[in-house]
Structure 1
């Protein structure tokens, strides 16, 4: 007889993993919400208060106006021109307006305006430097490198050449342009610069020598030619056409 066939036991049913219900995050308590709102409100009020204090009160207002770089001008004159009120909020200071007011002073070539916390405004002034002098019945008029007649003094400074020009602005510009482009050694020998128009500049040098310069064009080249010509005897040196310079 054949052996009885063994019966297979049915496989146990698989159990699906049970899913635990998701936990909702705990809501902050009412006290926590109120505390956060209070902190946010306090921060906002602090920022607004500081902003108001900086922009509309004298907390960070101007207490000192420093003036630097002066040679001839008095600090009081610069402060008066700047017209910065004591206690004026530093953050609201109109730097461009202050700069424009100080630049109206004839002796001022430029000025830098700086805010320095907590309450200082620093004005660094660059004064005009004279390069020539215009003699007149009311005194000596100082002229700077831009051709501006910016000050009148009773006694002319030593070492400045005299400027002899017509009322034509082109004559002044040409004469000053030639003068400031000359090499230092040559410029020291110039006693006077004259011009009636922008094309007839003449130099009066020491030892009675005259230089016919012409226009301000090619000034560096003309100066180089003149330095060579001055080694020759003569009283009139014409470099108006540097390629055809003459001595007589």
Structure 2
């Protein structure tokens, strides 16, 4: 009997078991609350980043412009003020801006908290095509990209049958002109080519030089290279 009473007394009281259950219940409730709070926080952050105007575009900064106007670049970019920064499609903006003939390359990026940056690299003129009422500037690839009212005095005139980047004669003429030393290139007044192997230059003073002889001093050369 004594042994039975001792065993009975050694059992934990029922109130202690209930307390443990309550503590376990509170712990589970706290864990659930933390999970719910975390989910709500993630949703709130996602809303702020992707849908709210609080982190929307407030400024668009454009750099690298020379001939292009900032207004023309901004129109092509099509980035509306207030658009959530992370929802701006920078790749699409780059494609639109690259449609401008003067643009050789462009990079559109984001700068937290609310700025879009546009870095433009414009084409560099190497020659010009004379036309009615003005001239078209031409870059090293043979692309005509910008109209001016008067032919530039510091650039040579390009005289070709079919001036365009895919034309072999255009490629040859621009490659020779681009490869010239700067001092010699400054002397060139006219560049023409009837075929890729027939590039000719007219230098200041009227000397005509074949492309194969385009080097410093070639303007004074005698023989088949000059005439």
TM over 0.5: yes
Count of residues paired in the alignment: 204
Partner of 2:87: 92
Query: Which residue in the other structure is 2:8 paired with?
Result: none
Uncovered stretches (5+) of structure 2, i.e. residues with no partner: 1-19
TM-score by length of 1: 0.76
> Does the 8 Å contact 1:132/1:161 carry over to 2?
yes
The 3 A distance-change label for structure 1 pair 229 and 145 is: closer
Note the C-alpha offset of 1:161.
0.5
* Structure 2 Cα separation of the partners of residues 106 and 231 of structure 1: 38
Q: CA deviation at 1:109?
A: 1.2
Task: Kindly report which structure 2 residues correspond to 1:137-156, keeping only aligned pairs within 5 A, or say none.
Answer: 137-156=132-151
Match of 2:216 in 1: 227
1:205 and 2:203 are equivalent in the alignment: yes
- Structure 1 residue 230 displacement after superposition: 4.7
The TM-score, its normalising length taken from structure 2, stands at 0.82
Within 2, Cα distance between the matches of 1:171 and 1:187? 18
On the 8 A contact 2:76/2:96 being kept in 1, the answer is: yes
Instruction: Kindly indicate whether the alpha-carbon contact (under 8 Å) linking 2:207 and 2:219 is maintained by their aligned counterparts in 1.
Output: no
- Whichever of the two has the greater Rg, that structure is 1
- 1:135 corresponding residue in structure 2: 130
Answer yes or no: is 1:79 the counterpart of 2:74. Answer: yes
User: In structure 2, what is the equivalent of residue 173 of structure 1?
Assistant: 171
RMSD: 2.0
Q: Give the gaps of 5 or more residues in structure 1.
A: 1-25, 215-221, 239-246
Larger helix share, 1 or 2: 2
- The equivalent of 1:164 in structure 2 is 159
